[in-house]
Structure 1
Amino acid sequence: MTIDELSDYGMDRMADDEISGFLSSQSVGVLGLPTENVPVMRPLFFWYDGESQIYFLYVIGPESQKEDLSDRADAARFLVYNVDTPFMWTSVLLTGPISDVPESEREQVQDAMEMQWRPDLFERAGTSETTKLYQLQIEDQVGIAHRGLPPAFDTDSSETQSE
């Protein structure tokens, strides 16, 4: 079924301004990077610039698969979601090219980043470990939201059955 067909069950496609508002209120998602077999997926903290870029701060080890795959990828996907209840959830899928932020732009971007929450590990790593800043240029975005009980959900039938 398509998203439009699922509207009878309470799911709706999100408008661009709703997607932007949602991304601005979140800080964690799942990055999918292509490989020869199956994609590699990593949960990451992110910062959204409010327009068309998502930024990630990587802590880089000596053999970082995430760094290697990001450097080789033509495009990546990033999923941001929030689930309050089975009938109240939001999901946004972003697609676009991923690249490292040039050193000349890194300080300006990091000054603008206002992460809502991130582990202390990133604060300490930023001063003692090798880090690299990446950006995903959003070329395609799809958002869906389920905002309550489906219209066809019949609460009266469950009460009748229990009597």
Structure 2
Amino acid sequence: MTVEELPLTEMDDESIRAFLSNQKMGVLGLPTGDVPYLLPMSYGFDDESTLYFTFVGGPDSRKRGLIERTERARFLSFSAQSPFNWESVLVTGTVEAIPGEEWGDVAPVLEAAWRPDVIEAAMETEEVTVYRFEADEWTGYKHTGLPPGFESA
């Protein structure tokens, strides 16, 4: 079976929005000189087209330096229950820091974001920056087929 023959379903915009609203983790890809810098990230989603990330760490962090120089980035969120039941969404867009005085405007979205305890604890003592990732294109696919031998007759 070739990739073209796989029983994949392309997700429409509504399905992609629903997926991003229900997921809270993904991988942010930032360009570098040779290979992308990949970061596991929790995020908040505004149910329209914008993801929000909270970065913890000082101005000398590699991720902060890369994101500040990035014009376009990619973000991948996925869910895989089994080899026969999975979904993924790839988002491409622009990233910009949100000024501290605007954080209140996105507080409900940020409060809904899942964060590991270690990040929550670090936010109390480290420098925090919030970034807006504005999607300008996205694609999503899902596979909800049955394992071989279980197809209906």
Q: TM-score, normalised by structure 2?
A: 0.89
Q: Compared with structure 1, are the counterparts of its residues 15 and 26 closer, same or farther at alpha carbon in structure 2 (3 Å cutoff)? A: same
1:67 to 61, 64, 68: 64
Instruction: Give the counterpart letter for 2:32 in structure 1.
Output: T
1:84 to partner: Cα distance: 0.2
Relative distance call for 1:155 and 1:148 in structure 2 (3 A) is: closer
User: Distance between the aligned counterparts of 1:97 and 1:112, measured in 2?
Assistant: 18
Supply the distance in 1 between the matched residues of 2:28 and 2:22 (Cα, whole angstroms).
Answer: 18
User: What CA RMSD, in Å, does the superposition of the two structures yield over aligned residues?
Assistant: 2.1
Q: How many residues align?
A: 151
TM-score (norm 1): 0.84
Q: In the alignment, which of 20, 25, 32 is matched to residue 23 of structure 1?
A: 20
- For the pair 1:92 / 2:92, whether they are aligned, the reply is no
Superposition pairs for residues 14-163 of structure 1, below 5 Å?
14-115=11-112, 117-149=114-146, 153-155=148-150
CA distance in 2, matches of 1:13, 1:114: 30
Distance in 1 separating the partners of 2:47 and 2:100: 22
Q: How far does the alpha carbon of each residue in 1:72-131 deviate from its partner, in whole angstroms, 9 at most, with x for none? A: 001000000000000000010000011111222112212442335321223222222101
Larger radius of gyration: 1
**2-structure distance, mates of 1:118, 1:28:** 9
Runs of 4+ in 1 over 6 A off after TM superposition: none
Is there any run of 5+ residues in structure 1 with no aligned partner, and where? 157-163
Check 1:96–1:10 CA distance in 2 against 1; reply closer, same or farther (3 A cut): same
2, 6, 9: which one aligns with 1:9: 6
Q: Distance in 2 between matches of 1:105 and 1:24?
A: 22
What secondary structure does 2:124 align onto? helix
Deviation at 1:62, TM superposition (A): 5.0
